[in-house]
Structure formats: structure tokens, C-alpha cells
Amino acid sequence: MTILVFGKTGQVAIELQKYAEVTALDRSAADLGNPAACAAAIVAHAPRAVINAAAYTLVDRAEEEEALASVINGEAPAAMARTCAEMDIPFVHISTDYVFDGTGGKASKPEDPARPVNAYGRTKYLGEETIRAAAGRHAILRTSWVFSAHGSNFVKTMLRLSRTHDVLNVVEDQIGGPTPASAIAAACRSIAEQLAADRGKSGTYHFSGAPDVSWYQFASEILSRTHSAPDLRPIPARAYRASAERPPSSRLDCRTTEATFGLPRPDWRAALDDILEELETA
């Protein structure tokens, strides 16, 4: 199966490029700010499946650039989904836990009402709605707290700050499932293959790492595996003073994904060991 991937330098896109059947497009080949160009790229490459691993992900800046984020996160996926529907090929789209407000005390299910609390979440949900409206064979895969040895992510930030700071303040009242980018890539590939064989599996799914932890607990695990030992201090999210509000809970109920595609939640602790080893030898 030949798979066309939108995105080339993002964490999941980098992991997807480890598969021989993947062709990845960067911004020069398909600018998500130009939805028509994205549709044209699919037609030109004539793949057997498409995975959208690109997005506007600057959560705080999106508060000021919601119109641009809406094009990249909403209109571009819509163009991709419509083209895939016309060609009758699977379209896998990576979405986010930020479509939920994170309240209620339970892990969010795929069918729970979306209540985004920031511009980024609103634009990502716009993309979901347009994909569903295209009515092709598709999977919207919501995930959370992505990390890898590449790009910008929480693991690399903690390692960098631990080298120069004796004290690190880390949010303790936001909970989620850290998710290895490699696991997301493998899941997307498997889902695309299964959708090609069974369009009845189309729908919205959740995929995040286990167990669920706070940012503070995640940071503690990261630094416990290194030689750095800054003083970690838990703080409430309100003390972080971010421009965009974040959901207090990013926990995702992933049981439907496992039942439908045979994809259990990955253990992020095992992946963390591998990523730290990769960073040490890089």
C-alpha cells in the first residue's frame, strides 16, 4: 500500500517516514494554507491511502491567528477528505484531546460532546466536522501529549531546562496520557490498512499512552531516568499564565480503538526509555 503523508518535519510525520511505503510532503510540496493544492497533490500522487500528520499546533498563538489556524486545521483537511472520498481511498487524520473542555472527572469518549476551550481546539474540531461531512472512508484519531526524540516536545524541554536550572516549576493539575509519536505513526498505518479492507470501520477514535499522569508526574519520570536532578516543584495551571486556556483533563477513553483495530494504549514509560537512549546516542 502506498501512503501519502501530509507533513514531513513533525514528530509523527518523521516516524511515518520510517515505513518504506510512505511518501511525505513538506510545505513546499503541499502548503496546508492552500487547501486546493493539498487536494491536487493527492490526485497527482494517486496513493492507496492518505494520512494527515500536519497541523497548526501553536496553541497560544492560535488565539491571535485563529483565521489562519482554521484554514490549516479545518479547510485543508476538508479538501483532503473530499478528494479521498472521491477516489474512495482511506483518509486518516490526527486530531487532539483539545476538542474537549476536560471537565467531568472521566476520560473522554469519542462520542462525547466537543467543547473546546481555546482557538486551537475550535479549529481542530472544525477539521473533524468537515472530514465527517465528506462521508468517505476515514478515521479521525484524537491523541494527546505527543513526544519523541524529534522536534519540540515536553520530554526535550525538560531535558534542556534541567541542564541550566536548579529548580523547575511544573503543572500538577492537568492530567493526560503521554503518547509516543512512533506509536501514533504505527497506529495510523494500521488503521489505513484496515480501512482499505473495511470502510465500515470509519469513525472517530482515541489513542493515547498509558498510564495517565500529570505534567509534574511525567517530568518526575523523565528526570528520574537522567543524571540531572533539579528540584521539581508542582504548581497549578493558573500560575503558568499561558495565553490559551488548557483542559484540566486530557484523559481519553481508548477502548473503542482497541476493540475495532486491535490497538491497545502504548506504555509511554517503555517508549520514554527508548527515546532517552536515542537522544543520548544522537
**Strand 138-143 with 203-206, pairing:** parallel
Residues in Cβ contact with 6 at an 8 Å cutoff, skipping those fewer than 6 apart: 13, 24, 25, 30, 32, 38, 41, 50, 51, 52, 53, 54, 76, 80
Alpha-helical regions (H) of the chain: 11-16, 35-45, 66-70, 76-87, 119-134, 154-162, 181-197, 215-224, 255-261, 268-281
Which triple of cell numbers denotes residue 52? 494527515
Q: Which residues pair with 206 in a beta bridge?
A: 142
Q: What is the gyration radius of the CA atoms in the chain, in angstroms?
A: 18
Angle separating helix axes 76-87 and 35-45, nearest 10 degrees = 30
Q: Pick the catalytic residue: 56, 98, 120, 125? A: 120
111: DSSP letter = T
240 is catalytic: no
Write the CA distances from 270 to 207, 215, 276, integer angstroms. 17, 17, 10
- Give the 3-state secondary structure of 56-87: CCCCCHHHCCHHHHHHHHHHHHHHHHHHHHHH
Please name the helix (run of DSSP H) or strand (run of DSSP E) that holds residue 203, with its range, or none.
Answer: strand 203-206
- In this structure, are residues 172 and 67 in contact, taking their beta carbons and an 8 Å threshold? no
In one-letter notation, the amino acid at residue 269 is R
Q: Amino acid identity, residue 250?
A: S
Residues annotated as part of the active site: 120
